[in-house]
Amino acid sequence: MTGTLGGALEARGIDAAEGRLSSEAEGDVVLEQKVLVIKRIRVRYRLEGCPSDKREAALRAHEFHASRCPVAVSIGSAISISTELRFA
pLDDT in tens, 62-72: 999 999 999 99
pLDDT of residue 60: 97
What's the mean pLDDT in 29-52?
97
Give the structural domain span for 12: 2-87
What's the mean pLDDT in 62-86?
96
| pTM of this structure | 0.91
User: Domain of 38: which CATH number?
Assistant: 3.30.300.20
pLDDT of residue 48: 98
How many structural domains does the chain have? 1
Spell out the long-range contacts of 66-74 with Cβ–Cβ below 8 A and sequence spacing 24 or more: 66/1, 66/4, 68/4, 68/8, 69/1, 69/4, 69/5, 70/4, 71/1, 72/1, 72/4
Confidence of residue 79 (pLDDT cuts 50, 70, 90): very high
